[in-house]
Structure 1
Amino acid sequence: MKEIDMKRNLSEFDKMINEIEYKQNQELMDLLLENKKFMDEYNDLGTTDIKTRKKLLKIMLGYIHESVDILPPFICDYGKNITIDEHSFINHNCTILAEANVIIGKYVRIAPNVSIYTVGHAENPLKRKEGYSYAKKVIIEDNVWIGGNVIILPGVTIGENSIIGAGSVINKSIPKNVVAAGNPCKIIKEIEE
């Protein structure tokens, strides 16, 4: 009973970030639009104004190490839910839909056109019509390399040192020290240390 009462008292944002089913509302739309203003400014800068781009990334994202670079265009919605650790690099045209937390470790390499989704919509068509969604965090551990055009779905963890082949769709977590690829993404081989 206490858990049900707690869920009722949470804002829709708190439900979203805590991976509890939530309903889109004005609070969430306002947060989304606020982030989009910074994102539009970021993408209008192009690639050469690195200093201003890094300043905007620090405003948009929850945490980004100063050594990280993200090449525009870059699309994200709730940027404050994204953390990116040192010496990671994200190439052009990355989309991160971070309704839940997206945690990117150290020395991660993300190729162009990668999409990371934490959000899904209610299966029940009536609830979906009313705007209900769910979110599950995505974790990309240290020293991961993600090839171009990869799609990472809600709730996935990619283990340390792993490589994801271009064009993969990842719907289940991938362990550390493997090469994986395909749709759905499957382990191809282990990486020898």
Structure 2
Amino acid sequence: MKTEREKMINGDFYDPSDEELIKARIRAHKLAHTYSQLEVEQERSNLIKEIFGATGEKIHVEPGLRIDYGENISVGERFYANFDAVMLDVCPITIGDNAMLGPRVSLVTPEHPLDPIERNSGLEFGRPIKIGDNCWVGSDATIIGGVTLGDNVVVGAGSVVTKSFGDNVVIAGNPARVIKTIPESK
């Protein structure tokens, strides 16, 4: 039988009031709070590598980080997140190399049932988010669970990304749509 944690990571219905999950969230929230209070860059750099499940060597996350667990977040080399990033990681959030998040970007993997009786049961589920290499997500954009963005994607500020997109596109709007193709680099 699967644990609630295993169900959560797999995207199955799970009970977020499970004691193990509550303890993991409390730990992550405390670490994120401590992270935001640190003034020494090297101390923050060391702590973010403890908070996230996997990281590149050179990453930078500005203070104000909000997470569910942290351990389900993987970021590549030269990752940058501006102030007040929200990364709700009940399912994996995977981000490639050279990716940048503007201020107040939200990556949201948890979801709730549409049926009100199921929703009122307290059960929830999630879907992973995958962002490729060389992506830039503009300020106040939201990417929901189940979305995969290819390499070299630019997400316009304030956009809501509800579906997946391939490589080399600029997307914007609510819901986001392709507004421009980026020529491949020579």
Distance 2:70 2:104 in 1: 18
Match of 1:71 in 2: 62
Residue 31 of structure 2 corresponds to residue 38 of structure 1: yes
11, 15, 20: which is aligned to 2:7? Answer: 15
Distance 2:88 2:2 in 1: 21
Distance 1:34 1:110 in 2: 24
Match of 1:27 in 2: 20
TM, length-normalised to structure 2 = 0.95
Residue 93 of structure 2 corresponds to residue 102 of structure 1: yes
Q: Secondary structure at the match of 2:179?
A: strand
Shift of 1:126: 2.1
The answer (yes or no) to whether the contact 1:54–1:66 under 8 Å persists in 2 is: no
Off by >6 Å, runs of 4+ in structure 1: none
Whichever residue aligns with residue 66 of structure 1, its letter is: E
Deviation sequence 1:7-45 (CA, Å, 0-9, x none): xx0001100001111112222111100111111111111
Distance 1:150 1:85 in 2: 20
Shift of 1:56: 1.1
Q: Secondary structure at the match of 1:187?
A: strand
Q: Secondary structure at the match of 1:43?
A: helix
The answer (yes or no) to whether the contact 1:100–1:137 under 8 Å persists in 2 is: yes
Match of 1:113 in 2: 104
Shift of 1:127: 2.2
Q: Secondary structure at the match of 2:163?
A: coil
Listed as ranges, the matches of 1:1-193 within 5 Å are: 9-24=1-16, 25-45=18-38, 48-193=39-184
Q: Secondary structure at the match of 2:124?
A: strand
TM, length-normalised to structure 1 = 0.92
Bigger share in helix: 1
Deviation sequence 1:125-151 (CA, Å, 0-9, x none): 222222110111000100011111100
Q: How many pairs are equivalent?
A: 183
Distance 1:21 1:173 in 2: 23
Where structure 2 has 5 or more consecutive residues not aligned to the other structure, the ranges are none
Deviation sequence 1:83-107 (CA, Å, 0-9, x none): 0010111111100000000001000
Identical pairs, percent = 35
Distance 2:26 2:120 in 1: 22
Where structure 1 has 5 or more consecutive residues not aligned to the other structure, the ranges are 1-8
